[in-house]
Structure 1
Amino acid sequence: MSIQQARKFSVAPMMDWTDRHCRFFHRHLSRHALLFTEMVTSAALIRGGADWLLNYNDDVEHPIAVQLGGSDPKELAAATKLCDQFGYDEINLNVGCPSDRVQSGRFGACLMAEPALVAECVRAMRDATDTPVTVKCRIGIDDQDSEEDLRTFVDHMLDAKVDALYVHARKAWLKGLSPKQNREVPPLDYERVYRLKNHVGDLPLMINGGIEDLAQSKAHLQHVDGVMLGRAAYHNPGLLWGVDAEIFGDDTPPISLESLCEVMTNYAEIQMTKGARLNQIVRHMLGLGFGKPGARRYRQLLTVEAVKSERGVELIEEAFGLLIAARQAA
C-alpha cells in the first residue's frame, strides 16, 4: 500500500504516547493505518540523539511517518537526512502544537504566523530527501484566524511543493489556554477544512480534531482525503480493529484477542531483555478493555500490578484472559 493510500486513516503523533511500544501494538490492530512517531525536535537529532529517538520496529511498523519539530531550515534539512537513514515513509513538520514549551523553541503552532519561514523549511526538507514531506497545522492562531489567513499560509505550502497537509480543525490560542484546553475550547470548524480541500485541489488533505469513531471518519472522507484520530484511537484502541475493513475495504479477518495476547506477550519478553520495563509496554493497552465487562480489573492489572518487580509477562496473559472470558460470556 502506498503512503498516499495509507493517509486515508492515521493515528496522530502524541507526545509521551505514540512511542515504539504503542505503535507495535496499534500495528497489530490495523495493517493499513498510517502511524506517527511522537514529535522529535531537529535540534535533539542533530545533537546526536538519532539512534535512540528514531529507532523503531522496522519489520512491523510500516507505513510510518516521523514528525519533526523545528524552525531552522538548515537544521531541519540535516534532521531529514537522518530520518532518511531509518527508512520512514513520510517526514512531517509540526506546525500545530500550541504548548509553551514548543513555542519557546519557536516551532509548533506559533509558526503559522510565519508562513514564509515554514515554506523555507519545507523546501529545505524536500531538497534533502525523496521521501514525502508533509505539514500538520491548525486552521488559525490567536487573532490570525480568518479563512484568508489560513489560505495565505496554505498557499505558501503549495508554493513550497509540500506533499500533503494534515489540518486540525480548531484554531490555537497561544496564550491563556493549556494544550488540553486547546484541544477542547476553540470550536471545531470542519466546514472550513472542507472548503480548504476545494482550494488545494489535488493536494492530499487530511482532517484532524474531535473525530471519535469510524462512522464519523467515513462521513469526513466524503469531503477530504483522509482522517487522523488521536486520543480516541489511543483511549479506545479497539476501534482500530475495524479500520482495515471499514476504511480500507480489506476484509481479511483482524487479529483475535488470543493471537494479540500471544504477540504482545512475546514482544514484551523480548523488549524486557533489552531493558524496557513491563509497565512501559502495557500502559498503551489499557484502553483495550473500553466498555467491556472486567475492564476495571483489566486496567488494575496493567497499572498497579505491572510496576511490581515480581510480575512478568504472564501479567499480559492474565489481563487478556479477563477480556477473553468476558467475550465468551457475552
Structure 2
Amino acid sequence: MQLQFSRHRKLRSSANMRALVRENHLRAEDFIYPLFIYEGENIRKEVSSMPGVFQISMDHLHAEMEDIVAHGIKAVLLFGIPATKDECGGQAYHDHGIVQEATRYIKKHFPDILVIADTCLCEYTSHGHCGVVKGEKILNDESLELLVKTAVSQAQAGADIIAPSNMMDGFVAAIRAGLDEAGFTEIPIMSYAVKYASSFYGPFREAAEGAPQFGDRKTYQMDPANRLEAFREAESDVAEGADFLIVKPGMPYLDIVRDMKNNFNVPIVIYNVSGEYAMIKAAAQNGWLDEKKTVLEMLVGMKRAGADLIITYHAKDAIRWLKEEQ
C-alpha cells in the first residue's frame, strides 16, 4: 500500500543538515550581563541563591571586566549597592554614587563596552521601594523628579543607555525630557516597559539588597494574569520615547515577548531573571538537569519567541558553550 505523507525528518538527518536549516541562533552579541557593584573595598561575595554571581567592589571591577571582554560580551547592566541608604535614595543620583563611579571606570578602561545603567531607587532607599514613599503609598509624580536626576547623573558619568526599571507612570516621558534638557539627546532609553510583579525576583533582591521593607510592589508592577495591560504599557513607553522595550521576567512571559515583537518596531529585550537562573543552577547541582543543554535550549527559546537581546546571568557560560560547539 502506497501511503502519502510528508517526510519532515529529511531536514533532521545529520548535525550539519540541522545546522543548515536552523532558524534561530545565539551569539555573544545577543547577551547583556548584569553586574552588582558594591560600595566598599575588597568585596567579592557570591550571592548564596545565585551560584556564580558575585557582588563586587570597585577594586575587583577591572578583573571582572577583563573576563567579560575575554568572553566577548559587548554590554553590561549595572546595579549598585550603596554604603548608606535614605528615604529618598540620594545615592542613586549622587555624582559619586557607586553606579556613576563604576560607569566612569568602565568607560575609561574599557571604552568599547556598552554600559547600561539601571535607573531605579529601590537599592538606594531605606524602605526598599522604587519611589518616594508617604505613609505606605508610593508617590508617582514626586518619584519622577528623582528618577530624572538619577538618569541625568548616570548619563553625565558616561552611561551609553539609560534603563529605567521603576514602573512609575510617565517615567519614560520624564526621563526623555530630562536627558534632552541636559544635552543628552542621543542617549537611548531601554525601558522596563513590561515588568510583572513576579515571584521570580527573590534571588535578585538578595543580590541587590533592595527588598521592600513593607508591603509589595503590586501597585506599580504588573499583574501576572494580564496580557492586554502589556500593550498599554508598551504603547505609552514607545510614544514617550523608549528606544528598547524590556519584558521581565522571561520564561513565564514568552507569549508577551512575541506580542511585543509582533506589534512594536523597536528592539525587544527579555530579562532572564534571577529566579529562572537559580532554578536551573539548583537542578543542575542536584544532577536533575544537564545545565549546558537546558540553558542553551531556554535561551534559544527566548530568541524564537522574538527577543532581540537577552539580559542573563548565564551569559559567560552560554558563550563558552557556544564556542565549544563551533
TM-score w.r.t. the length of structure 1 is 0.51
Does the 8 A contact of 1:13 with 1:67 survive in 2? Answer: no
How is 1:151-190 mapped onto 2 (pairs within 5 angstroms)?
Answer: 151-169=231-249, 188-190=252-254
Q: Does 1:140 align with 2:193?
A: no
User: Quick check: which one's helix share is greater?
Assistant: 1
Report the AA paired with residue 191 of structure 2. Answer: V
Q: Which runs of 5 or more structure 2 residues have no equivalent in the other structure?
A: 1-26, 39-53, 83-88, 122-130, 132-142, 198-217, 278-293
Is residue 59 of structure 1 aligned with residue 141 of structure 2?
Answer: no
TM-score normalised by structure 2 residue count: 0.52
* Stretches of structure 1 lacking an aligned partner (at least 5 in a row): 96-110, 171-186, 252-330
Matches within 5 A, 1:111-130: 111=167, 114-115=168-169, 117-127=170-180, 128=182, 129=184, 130=186
Give the drift of 1:188. Answer: 1.2
Residue identity opposite 2:318 in structure 1: L
Paired with 2:310 and 2:29, the residues of 1 have a C-alpha distance of 7
Q: Could you tell me the percent identity over the aligned residues? A: 13
CA change 1:140–1:121 in 2 (3 A) is: same
Letter in 1 for 2:65: F
Match of 2:320, as an amino acid? Answer: W
Aligned-residue RMSD, C-alpha: 3.5
Contact conserved, 2:74 with 2:114, CA < 8 A, in 1?
A: yes
**Deviation sequence 1:160-207 (CA, Å, 0-9, x none):** 11111221136xxxxxxxxxxxxxxxx71212221122122x211111
Correspondence 1:198 to 2:273: no
Q: Trace 1:48-127 onto structure 2 (pairs within 5 A).
A: 48-50=95-97, 52=101, 54-57=103-106, 58-60=108-110, 62-70=113-121, 71=131, 72-95=143-166, 111=167, 114-115=168-169, 117-127=170-180
CA contact (8 A) 1:40 1:69 kept: no
Instruction: Report the 3-state secondary structure (helix = DSSP H, G, I; strand = E; otherwise coil) of the residue aligned with 1:56.
Output: helix
* Residue among 29, 33, 58 paired with 1:11: 33
Measured in 1, the distance between the counterparts of 2:232 and 2:195 equals: 11
Q: Does 1:28 align with 2:69?
A: yes
Which residue of 2 is the match for residue 225 of structure 1?
308
